[in-house]
Structure 1
Amino acid sequence: MSDTTVTGAILAAAADQARPMLTYYNDSTGERTELSGATLGNWAAKIGNYLRDEIGVLPGDPVRVDLPEHWQTAAILLGSWWAGAQVLIADDGDGRVVFTSRDRIDSHDEDEIVVVPLDPFAMGVRDLPVGISDFGESIRAHGDHFVPSGAGRLAVDSVTVQQVLTAAPDGLGADDRVLSVRPWHTVADLVANFAAPLAAGASLVYVDGSADEAALAKTASTEKATVTWR
């Protein structure tokens, strides 16, 4: 077991916790959600506390994340890694808990299923089946501060913590804002397109569902992006 968690390293790499760490755009809904390092860290802390205190997750335990790219998915990934968990994306096997969307409930048989709303404000999901937990109700009551107990060797499926933390692209640093439309719902994409820029200290601006070059160029200018990943 290592003392270094992926999330601890990402938060430490951020030059200014008040600076935006993740900005999420959804072109189809018009959503724009900006989270500073401090705010995203608070969400991750709540999730880490939930996993450890309610689910009993220990460093190295598996947590399944079955969600599309979204700022809430980012918070869940960071909270899981901060708790030292191995995030399961593609590998077979059940997690101690699964975070998923309402339309994916029937795809899972974990003992603990948490439904994530994927809306701008993490509002509650109504009329869930008995035994299924709502993300907002489960997470919000937990504290905004988290002290990790260490990390297991694996960060996501068979990718190690060390491999994630050394995946940052050359030349990318704390002064960069990366505008990206690259997906991060597979293991390789998650490491390269989500974790790597954050581990380099960069700020990530993720645009969901856009292939319009003019719109991307306008967003890049508005967000003062230094790098654009198509």
Structure 2
Amino acid sequence: MFTTIPAAFSDVVRRDPTAPLLTWYDDATGDRTELSGATLDNWVSKTANLLIDGLGLSGGDTVAVLLPPHWQTAAIALGASAAGLAVAFPGRPQPVDALFATPALAGESAEWAAVDRYATGLLPLAMPLREVPPGFVDYVTEVRNYGDHFAGAPVTPDDRALAGPVELSHLAVMRTATERAAELGLTTGDRVLIDTRAYPDPIDWLFAPLAAGASLVLCANLNPAKVDAHTTAEKVTVALT
């Protein structure tokens, strides 16, 4: 069992950096985005460098990720984890050091006390926003200014990983994710199709597959009539719908 989130992510990338690690579908828009391990790792590294070098955050600080399941959500959460920062997902508002949200949630994010605020439209091809909400910076535009490799301080099992009403260390998250992977029947090398409406918890759609060494096919607005087509096209071995 891996004892930190970055260790689990690094392992699955290292096994085959060129293979698809996270594929994103939105059946409502027709959007499909495929990221290899190397490509997702670049986004994770850029995000970590943005948080550390751009914002000056450090171990013990907290980043709110007020985003639905999406490949950019994964990149931001994993980037924060790599930087040794705790991640707060949607829930009870709390003081945080940086915040990421969609424009639709920009108003609600005012309840979260944060100095630095980033917005993303979760658009196809990582397109920038046409209009950035007041007080926010466009994440996909800003993050591209940072390096593809991140060399930060090592993350320890006892460091905070998730912040919220119940705070969890990296070790606690990985234990929970490993147990959940077993419950879901995930094993190393699996290609897992996930209906994000049915499995919105990041333990299910992100951390459990990584703990198992599996790759992800995240599906938003999943059309039941397209499940078989997605399964065949993506060589899915486990479907969570």
Normalising by structure 1, what TM-score? 0.89
Higher-helix-fraction structure: 2
- What are the Cα deviations for residues 107-166 of structure 1, in whole angstroms up to 9, with x where unaligned? 224211101120112222233355421112210000000012133622122222112223
Calculate percent identity across the aligned residue pairs.
38
State the partner residue of 1:13: 12
Shift of residue 60, structure 1, vs aligned partner: 2.1
**Residue in structure 1 matched with residue 170 of structure 2 by the alignment:** 161
* Alpha-carbon spacing, 1:219–1:56, altered in 2? closer, same or farther (3 Å): same
Q: Which runs of 4+ in 1 moved over 3 A?
A: 182-186
Cα shift at 1:183: 4.4
Contact between 1:183 and 1:193, CA under 8 Å: does it hold in 2?
no
> What residue in structure 2 maps to residue 177 of structure 1?
191
Secondary structure, in 3 states, of the residue corresponding to 2:33?
A: strand
Does the aligned pair in 1 maintain the 2:17–2:36 contact within 8 Å? yes
Query: In structure 1, what is the equivalent of residue 144 of structure 2?
Result: 140
Q: 1:215 aligns with which of 218, 226, 231?
A: 226
Give matches, 1:106-117, under 5 Å: 106-109=107-110, 110-117=114-121
How far did 1:97 drift? 0.8
| Structure 2 gap ranges (5+) | none
Does 47-56 or 190-199 show the bigger shift? 190-199
Which one of 202, 208, 230 corresponds to residue 196 of structure 1? 208
Question: Contact (CA 8 Å) 2:193, 2:231: kept in 1 or not?
Answer: yes
How far apart, CA to CA, are the structure 2 residues paired with 1:88 and 1:185?
18
> How many angstroms apart in 2 are the aligned matches of 1:221 and 1:43?
27
1:1-230 paired onto structure 2 within 5 Å: 5-14=4-13, 15-89=15-89, 90-109=91-110, 110-151=114-155, 153-157=159-163, 158-166=167-175, 167-168=177-178, 169-170=181-182, 172-183=186-197, 189-212=201-224, 214-230=225-241
- The total of aligned residue pairs comes to 224
Q: Which has the larger displacement, 91-100 or 133-142?
A: 91-100
The Cα offsets for residues 179-227 of structure 1, whole Å up to 9 and x where unpaired, read as 11044886xx211221110222100111111151x31122111111111
TM superposition score normalised by structure 2: 0.86
Give the secondary-structure state (helix, strand or coil) at the position aligned to 2:95.
Answer: coil
* CA pair 182-163 structure 1, distance change in 2 beyond 3 A: farther
Q: Matches of 1:42 and 1:208 in 2, distance apart?
A: 23
Structure 2 distance, partners of 1:219, 1:86, is 34
